Chain A
């Protein structure tokens, strides 16, 4: 298509004169500086992320009560076997994580993109709208949880009072957070409330950085608003799109705080089981089971890595081909 042809500006780049090769000579001071600059974060990354992650994988093959090291003993795959075959909340948790991801990808993410697109068109009070929609993102997810807990309270909550459904003895009593068929969706609405603003601000920043001449060119070529957006703007914003997809997947897999707040500290309310909550339930508490919890964490780690790695590999492959 003619409209998409020169979006990435690759041709322009190729036409430009080649840059002079950089000097390869680094002074001793530079080398030390670079070593420190790269080495320290690398060590921190290894020590605080990958070492614990690997240790966690190791612990997942043991049984341990978390007190002293002498009580650890090896149980092989027992923890995994129990998780997959004899742990009632596990499969619901997997299902809820998938629903969470699908919902986040299908509702708040497009909504955020839509809002960003509208706000980018320099409508009146644009700054005010931006701020208003962005406010929930400033709050921590736990705080968002507390806010919605007040809204969803069945007896005294805003929602039930407004709907007139707050009488326990009445016919239409809605237990937003207690009803296992309802509570996940209630929480997803709360989560979407925050996620929409997040996606909006990311996308808005992306839109602002798109070269206006692209739009002009598209307009001259006779593209309408929708065509311009879908065929010119979206492809031009590829880095932002990748970021948003990665964020959506990540947020869905690590969804935790809000549900932890809304379903209470022992967090295994029917309808609201999530992998992250199951991990916490088993590792934090009066009689923790770090082995079992670590096995759950390993499952989540594998799923997360699989999702992200698949996506990134495909993405890079496409880029190389292009």
Chain B
């Protein structure tokens, strides 16, 4: 679950939902009544939407947002307000807790979803499109298509060749650090593996923890950033995508090298990572207790003091095998879909057409500067240095990946791979038994 905005589930409007589900689950666990869970959860999503949209049918377009953290919440608010100003259409927004939203998405889309809904590109969108839970929007793309690159178009397509998705922004993953710390200690960003490991060793010698890490709470997805990059750098894009798609074995010998390299980094990870949230890991870099961290541009959302923003910089994950170099970038794309059960299909399409313009992206980016607009026509003049660099990095990449849990079956990743890696990081060995364990469960998820 790689999203820009992460927090404990008890935030914003979502807290009610969390409690609801918890009570429900407790009830269903007590009687082991799990059949009830799916429809009941759907009802749960429906209920809260009715509550926060004030009930009543009306002809108003509805918008389901997972932006429950303060920054995205404000940014989506600005987006819908701007659309209302531009088109005269009223939009009713229902903000759902970020993590809860993605956990309940299956039930939500089958229940009474809002018309336009925030979601992620790639495998995770294709899955629901294939299940007929999304509405195809090819006619929207006839209008907005010119503003997007081919890569973005490909990401928005379902397996049936129809388009289902309008991207809003993406953000790259890289190695983030504080410029002032690097300057003070004379560190240099590195582009190859050996000097990266040497840099880590130097930092450790200087009393820093070289790589800030936090995969406590529900944050074990953050480990995938490192894994994905190692695999992309060592084995290349094609192998990585096959692995993610469940097409090659996880006990493939090519993965041994990945675990070997990862193991070299293990001694440089900040201790206590398994009990820390990613926000606290980011804080440790801000506080100059840690030298660097492998994370996404969303790290900026954890910044509370704006003067700090200019001191943050990043470099691409170092190259390992020169044949692959640094040709791939992990740049998860967030955007919007139209639910198949939408009550206002035409109005929804109109809104998506507007969202697909660079003007809309500017509105969003003005509030949340930790992303890069997905449109090629996005106004980059107001970008800060980090955004400029990010946009450049994504534009120059040969391959764009979404992220481990977005390129693969999310259930497999979160129930098998994430705990497997978290466990392995507690006492890193050659990884053979971890990979074997993952592989033994692969077939349960990738059946068709």
Contact = CB atoms under 8 A, between A and B. Distances in A.
Interface of A: 48-53, 55-57, 59, 63, 65-68, 82, 86-89, 140, 142, 146, 152-156, 168-169, 173, 175-180, 183, 254, 256-257, 260, 263-270, 276, 279-290, 292-294, 297-298, 300-301
Interface in B198-252: 207, 209, 216-221
A159 B15 CA distance: 27
Contact of B441 (A65, A87, A267, A283): A87
A169 B271 contact: yes
B22 to A, nearest CB: 6
- Of B22, B217, B289, the most chain A CB neighbours within 10 A belong to B217
B33 A56 contact: yes
B12 interface: no
A289 to B, nearest CB: 6
Nearest to B36: A52
Interface stretch (B174-182, B330-338, B385-393, B418-426): B418-426
B97 to A, nearest CB: 10
A281 B415 contact: yes
24 contacts: A48-B31, A49-B33, A53-B32, A56-B34, A59-B35, A63-B447, A88-B441, A146-B8, A153-B280, A154-B275, A156-B280, A168-B270, A175-B271, A260-B22, A263-B217, A264-B219, A264-B220, A266-B1, A266-B218, A269-B419, A284-B103, A288-B38, A289-B444, A301-B32
Given A257-B22, A264-B218, A287 B106 contact: yes
B73 interface: no
The secondary-structure label for the interface of chain B is helix
A117 to B, nearest CB: 31
Contacts of B217: 263-265
Contacts of A265: 9, 99, 103, 217-218
Given A48-B36, A52-B34, A178 B275 contact: yes
Contacts, number: 199
Interface string B66-85: 00000000000000000000
A112 B441 CA distance: 43
B28 A52 contact: yes
A140 to B, nearest CB: 8
Given A53-B32, A55-B33, A178-B273, A169 B209 contact: yes
Interface stretch (B138-146, B187-195, B360-368, B406-414): B406-414
B131 A67 contact: yes
B132 to A, nearest CB: 8
